[in-house]
């Protein structure tokens, strides 16, 4: 899901939405991973509102919100963040330099009883909410900020 804009980030320096969506479409395989502009279509600006609207529109779908450890670390800064775990299961992927801080942070501590073993990740969508897991795996240091900085010179 390509966001029209993160309320916590400055608009200055943000690449045009259409260009970001096109880049995401090139990276997605179109089957297992699909780039979507649904947040722009829904007119939502905050994740909690997007997830609420997705659940309303697709009541039979089981959603798992996939985020990086950097987002888990920042989650307490998000609007109505405590509602998110009750609306969708969450899978957290590792991000260099964020993992330990995120797993020791406010969100992980608040949700510690809802954490599930990574071996049960395949069943996450069907678990009662709240439910989340930290997925071990290869880490990639790329970030949107770093990619913008690298491509800003053309």
User: What pLDDT, in 10s, does the model give residues 18-57?
Assistant: 988 998 898 888 888 889 999 999 999 899 999 999 999 9
Assess whether pLDDT exceeds 70 at residue 146: no
Residue 154: which residues within 8 A CB-CB, separation 6 or more? Answer: none
pTM of the model: 0.84
Residue 137 backbone class (left: φ over 0; alpha: ψ -120 to 50; beta: rest): left
Instruction: Give pLDDT tens digits for 59-109.
Output: 999 999 999 999 999 999 999 999 999 999 999 999 999 999 999 999 999
pLDDT at 154 > cutoff 60: no
């Amino acid at each position: 899901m390509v966001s029209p804009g993160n309320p916590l980030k400055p608009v200055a320096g943000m690449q045009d939405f259409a260009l970001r969506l096109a880049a995401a479409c090139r990276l997605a395989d179109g089957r297992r991973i699909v780039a979507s502009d649904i947040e722009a279509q829904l007119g939502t600006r905050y994740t909690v509102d997007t997830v609420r609207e997705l659940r309303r529109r697709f009541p039979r779908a089981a959603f798992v919100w996939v985020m990086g450890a950097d987002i888990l670390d920042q989650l307490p800064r998000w609007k109505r963040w405590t509602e998110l775990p009750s609306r969708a299961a969450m899978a957290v992927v590792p991000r260099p330099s964020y993992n330990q801080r995120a797993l020791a942070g406010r969100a992980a501590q608040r949700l510690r009883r809802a954490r599930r073993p990574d071996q049960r990740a395949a069943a996450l969508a069907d678990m009662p909410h709240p439910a989340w897991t930290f997925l071990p795996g290869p880490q990639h240091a790329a970030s949107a900020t770093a990619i913008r900085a690298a491509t800003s010179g053309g």
